Amino acid sequence: MSDFGPDDKIVHGGPVPVYVQIAGVLRARIKRGDWLPMRPLPGEQRLADEFGVARMTARKAVRVLADEGTVFVVPQRGAFVSAPEHSGSGDAQ
């Protein structure tokens, strides 16, 4: 259970690489608040199982999020949701 939404289907062989699609799903989940900041995402193997892909493909998806700063990876610990941005522009209190 608690797979992922019906709109989170992963399409193989399409124009968008699987690992990019998975990164998108995870990004949306994070924004939705599925994992609070400083909380670890499921491990690479668990993500692989959930999405029905190889571990290295799930790993690549996590790396996309890490490269864009959405998460940070701690070896032997997991991938953690980064602290929220300071709300870019002005101070807005």
Partner DNA sequence: CACAATTTGTTCGTATGTATT
Partner DNA sequence: TAATACATACGAACAAATTGT
Q: Are strands 71-74 and 78-81 parallel, antiparallel or unpaired?
A: antiparallel
* Per-residue contact string for residues 21-40; x = within reach of DNA by CB under 7 A: --------------------
Q: How many CB atoms lie within 10 A of CB 26?
A: 27
HSE on the CB side for 84, CA within 13 Å? Answer: 9
Interaction of residue 6 with DNA, rule CB under 7 A: no
Give the Cα separation of 29 and 43 in Å (integer).
15
Question: Which residues ranging from 35 to 74 are in contact with DNA (CB under 7 A)?
Answer: 41-46, 52-57, 59-60, 62, 73-74
Q: Which of 7, 32, 76, 90 binds DNA (CB under 7 A)?
A: 76
Q: Which residues here bind DNA, judged by CB under 7 A?
A: 12-13, 17-20, 41-46, 52-57, 59-60, 62, 73-79
